[in-house]
């Protein structure tokens, strides 16, 4: 046995060197972090071969950090497993009373069940189906039932002081067009004005039809318009629209989110030629009624692509609340949190389960370690749902939040991104030219996090080169 001690000591020392090497940041990454003035102690990284225990890099991997929107990976994978990739939301419509000669002598009820993508064109389709029942004039009311979710009232500007940003829209059992409008500005030099088009139409809102043009570069056209939304019923533009901008689309969360649904339904109903003698109001569907029809959403796998490609916060929260709605009959934040925790414990144990606020990562309180995210991705890689989840992630340098204007390294990775003030993160799969796949997770929590994109790009490029370097070492 004494003769074996030097060998054991050598093995121990070598293993220590290997562990140390795996914790050392690649030079290009370290240099980019230094330029961004972000210390290595603010960064958590895991890089390991997909489907294997082979680790390339682990740096502060077990430290709980704020992941920002990368937390959506937990919610979307849990949703795909719990509900199934073909799951669809159904929005039932009820007719109370009788229709004669195009007039309904009664009420129409629309019951929200959490559909994340009840956007303008699908609202149009729903109301056209009402008209398909022989109803053009409603003598009663259109009643909106939003009772399936229990969501506390929130200030849309509380999180970051940006109440008119669509990403701050609150979830809703009857979420209509993300409680947002799309304003399209089209420059018309012959009229010396930009035409203003707004979707969906909102009843009782007086939009300006045109905005004067000005010469000069496009740049920040929104500031040039000097918009005033202080009176939601009378939006105004005190500035001018740069003619060089041509056509631009400005998505805007409605300044009065509580009244958005009522205005959107009435506005769309009248826009398609419907008449309404009563009003649009909120209420509950009488228990005695049965649905006349139900509008069905696209399948969950398709909507998960919208969630992850474009990091849609309110769609994620709709999915998050749907978990408890389906299991307990009502969608609530506490119940959905517990369901996600239970889902995590069943698969990964209770050691480092994430702290989840709303499922979307739009929170200062969320916490998860890079190692836990890597385990999630390894689990997903071995899952039958791997194609659905991976295809939902942005492709580096090509689409979504990694489109060319934001990211280089074209096509070398599928990565979910996350960003908040003081947070930048990526997590997903990196592809090498030799056909290898690596799980990569990187999270930065630091006041200069918004400057670390070059470091994250360098990390992805370093990971993508590992297959070639491995082959090169073998052939020496």
Residue 357 sits at the vertex; the CA angle it makes with 66 and 282, to the nearest 5 degrees, is 145
Task: Report d(CA 15, CA 337) in Å as an integer.
Answer: 40
DSSP string, 178-222: GGEEEEEEEEETTTTEEEEEEES--TT----SEEEEE-S--S-HH
DSSP string, 296-338: EPPPHHHHHHHHHHHT-HHHHHHHHHHHHHHHHSSEEHHHHHH
Task: Report d(CA 329, CA 263) in Å as an integer.
Answer: 28
Instruction: Tell me if residue 60 falls in helix, strand or coil.
Output: coil
Residue 295: what pLDDT? 98
Q: What token pair was written down for 86?
A: 């073909």
Please list the pLDDT of the chain residue by residue as tens digits (476 residues): 344 333 333 333 333 333 444 788 999 999 999 999 999 999 999 999 999 989 999 999 999 999 999 999 999 999 999 999 999 999 999 999 999 999 999 999 999 999 999 999 999 999 999 999 999 999 999 999 999 999 887 766 666 667 778 878 899 999 999 999 999 999 999 999 999 999 999 999 999 999 999 999 998 999 999 999 999 999 999 999 999 999 999 999 998 999 999 999 999 999 999 999 999 999 999 999 999 999 999 999 999 999 999 999 999 999 999 999 999 999 999 999 999 999 999 999 988 899 999 999 999 999 999 999 999 999 999 999 999 999 999 999 999 999 987 787 666 899 999 999 999 999 999 999 889 999 999 999 999 999 999 999 999 999 999 865 554 444 44
Would you say 377 and 427 are in contact if contact means Cβ atoms under 8 Å apart? Answer: yes
Residue 366: what pLDDT? 97
Give the closest residue to 254 by CA, choosing from 181, 153, 155. 181
Q: For the chain, how are helix, strand and coil distributed in percent, rounded to 5?
A: 40, 25, 40
Would you say 185 and 367 are in contact if contact means Cβ atoms under 8 Å apart? Answer: no
Residue 157: what pLDDT? 63
Residue 19: what pLDDT? 41
Q: What token pair was written down for 4?
A: 């074996």
Going by DSSP bridges, is the β-strand pair 236-237/227-228 parallel, antiparallel, or unpaired? antiparallel
Residue 409: what pLDDT? 64
Give the closest residue to 335 by CA, choosing from 66, 78, 69, 149. 149
Domains (ranges, CATH) in the chain?
2-86+301-475 (3.40.710.10), 89-297 (3.50.80.20)
């Amino acid at each position: 046995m004494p003769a074996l001690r030097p060998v054991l000591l050598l093995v121990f020392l070598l293993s220590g060197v290997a562990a140390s090497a795996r914790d050392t940041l690649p030079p290009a990454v370290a240099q980019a972090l230094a330029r961004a003035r972000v210390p290595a102690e603010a960064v958590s990284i895991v890089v390991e071969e997909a489907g294997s225990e082979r680790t390339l890099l682990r740096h502060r991997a077990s430290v709980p950090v704020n992941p920002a929107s990368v937390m959506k990976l937990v919610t979307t994978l849990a949703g795909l497993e719990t509900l199934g990739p073909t799951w669809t939301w159904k929005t039932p419509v009820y007719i109370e009373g009788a229709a004669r000669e195009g007039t309904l002598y009664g009420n129409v009820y629309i019951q929200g069940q959490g559909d994340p993508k009840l956007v303008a064109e699908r609202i149009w389709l729903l109301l056209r189906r009402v008209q398909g029942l022989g109803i053009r004039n409603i003598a009663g009311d259109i009643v909106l039932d939003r009772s399936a979710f229990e969501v506390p009232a929130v200030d849309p500007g509380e999180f970051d002081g940006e109440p008119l940003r669509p990403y701050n829209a609150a979830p809703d059992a009857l979420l209509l067009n993300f409680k947002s409008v799309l304003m399209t500005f089209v420059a018309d030099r012959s009229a010396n004005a930009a035409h203003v088009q707004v979707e969906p139409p909102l009843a009782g809102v007086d939009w300006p039809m045109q905005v004067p043009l000005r010469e000069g570069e496009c740049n920040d056209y929104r500031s040039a318009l000097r918009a005033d939304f202080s009176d939601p019923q009378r939006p105004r533009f005190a500035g001018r629209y740069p003619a060089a901008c041509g056509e631009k689309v400005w998505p805007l969360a409605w300044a009065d989110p509580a009244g958005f649904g009522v205005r959107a339904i009435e506005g769309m109903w009248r826009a398609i030629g419907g008449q309404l003698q009563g009003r649009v109001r909120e209420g509950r569907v009488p228990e005695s009624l049965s649905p006349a029809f139900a509008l069905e959403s696209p399948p969950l796998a398709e909507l998960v692509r919208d969630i992850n490609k474009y990091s849609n916060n309110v769609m994620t929260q709709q999915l998050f609340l749907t978990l408890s709605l389906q299991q307990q009959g009502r969608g609530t934040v506490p119940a959905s949190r517990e369901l996600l925790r239970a889902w995590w414990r069943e698969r990964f144990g209770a050691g480092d389960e994430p702290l989840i606020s709303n499922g979307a990562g739009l929170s200062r309180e969320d916490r998860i370690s890079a190692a836990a995210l890597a385990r999630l991705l390894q689990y997903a890689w071995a899952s039958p749902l791997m194609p659905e989840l991976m295809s939902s992630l942005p492709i580096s340098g090509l689409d979504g939040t990694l489109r060319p204007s934001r990211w280089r390294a074209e096509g070398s990775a599928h990565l979910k991104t996350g960003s908040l003030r003081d947070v930048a993160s990526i997590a997903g799969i990196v592809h090498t030219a030799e056909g290898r796949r690596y799980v990569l997770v990187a999270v930065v929590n630091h006041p200069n996090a918004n400057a670390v994109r070059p470091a994250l790009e360098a990390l992805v490029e370093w990971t993508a080169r590992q297959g070639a370097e491995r082959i090169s070492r073998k052939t020496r």
